[in-house]
Amino acid sequence: MTMTSKGQYLQTTMNESDPAWNLNPAIVDANAVTVDPAVLLEGYRFILTFMAEEGIDSPLNGGGVTAAEWYAENEDQIREIYRGDVRKAVVEEEGRHFVLTESHWQGAEKYGGAYSYVYDPSRPRLLSRVIRPTNVWQVDSDALSVAVKADVSYEMVVLPKPGTTEELVQPTNGFMTYSAALEPDGKWRIEGYDHDIKTTEAW
């Protein structure tokens, strides 16, 4: 259960039944085949989980928490040497979004402040989600670092337009890339990202 200023919702994550959970050797670049397979799989799954939970379904997506609140909650998932860049992307909104927010529609004057995802403690905001990894490679870094690029497609449930009762669907398609490094304390942490995403308004 995830708490936000707009209400509670069931935040989605990855699970073992998702086709993407098991790493397909065919998408692993030659420069990563020398990485211990168990370690590579661990990093791959960390990135996919971050992509699903925070990249796509973060409480920051929709403005249910402030950027500063999100950063404070997730700072430990980011490499220390990279935190300044992430803080600029998230808190100061410089450059591409580190996590998707779509908050420019939510509460915008254009919609009279009524455009919002559905927040319900008994269900997710996501109607559907497909993450299809297309490439995995080793990143040139001062630590063991891997990157995952994936095509993503998902639909978010949006409140009905004023005066109507039918919930609507906001579709998003594109690709997301995150890289993560294995640090001396045994934890994986995000150290890079790139996205190209297109979202279509539900209203």
CATH number of the domain where residue 76 is located: 3.10.450
The answer to whether residue 48 is domain-embedded is yes
Average model confidence (pLDDT) across the chain: 92
Q: Give the other-Cβ count within 10 Å of 87's Cβ.
A: 17
Packing angle of the helix pair 83-90, 67-74 (nearest 10 deg): 150
**Residue 129: CA atoms inside 13 Å, Cβ hemisphere, count?**
24
Write the pLDDT tens digit of every residue in 79-91: 999 999 888 888 8
Position 55 in a domain: yes
Is 70 a member of any domain? yes
pLDDT of residue 95 exceeding 60: no
pLDDT tens, 45-80? 999 999 999 999 999 998 899 889 999 999 999 999
- Report d(CA 184, CA 123) in Å as an integer: 38
Q: Is 59 a member of any domain?
A: yes
If you average pLDDT over residues 90-111, what whole number do you get?
70
Angstrom distance (rounded) from CA 82 to CA 90: 12
pLDDT grade, residue 96 (50/70/90)? low
Whether residue 148 is predicted with pLDDT greater than 90 in this model: the reply is: yes
Q: Which of 31, 36, 47 is nearest to 140 (CA)?
A: 31
Classify residue 17: in a domain, yes or no.
no
Tally of structural domains, the chain: 1
What pLDDT, on the 0 to 100 scale, is given for residue 92?
Answer: 77
Selected residue with higher pLDDT from 101 and 155 = 155
Q: pLDDT value at position 107?
A: 60
Residue 10 lies in a domain: no
Q: What percent of the chain has pLDDT over 70?
A: 95
In a domain, 118, yes or no: yes
What's the N-to-C CA distance of the chain in angstroms?
A: 27
Q: Tell me: pLDDT of 94 over 60.
A: no
111 band by pLDDT with thresholds 50, 70 and 90:
confident
Residue 105 in domain: yes
Contacts of 57 (CB under 8 A, 6+ apart): 11, 12, 124, 125, 126, 129
pLDDT at 31 over 80: yes
CB 74 within 8 A of CB 53: no
Domain range enclosing 174:
35-199
Among 177, 201, 167, which residue's Cα sits nearest to residue 44?
A: 177
Q: In this structure, are residues 203 and 161 in contact, taking their beta carbons and an 8 Å threshold?
A: yes
pLDDT tens, residue by residue, 154-184: 999 999 998 999 999 999 999 999 999 999 9
Nearest to 20 by CA among 145, 127, 176, 172: 176
Provide mean pLDDT across the span 30-44: 95
Contact 155, 149 (CB under 8 A): no
Its pTM stands at: 0.94
Instruction: Please give the C-alpha separations between residue 123 and each of 10, 34, 81, 90, 128, in angstroms, as whole numbers.
Output: 5, 42, 37, 27, 12
What is the band of 108 on the pLDDT scale with cuts at 50, 70, 90? low
Cα 199 to the center of its chain, rounded Å: 14
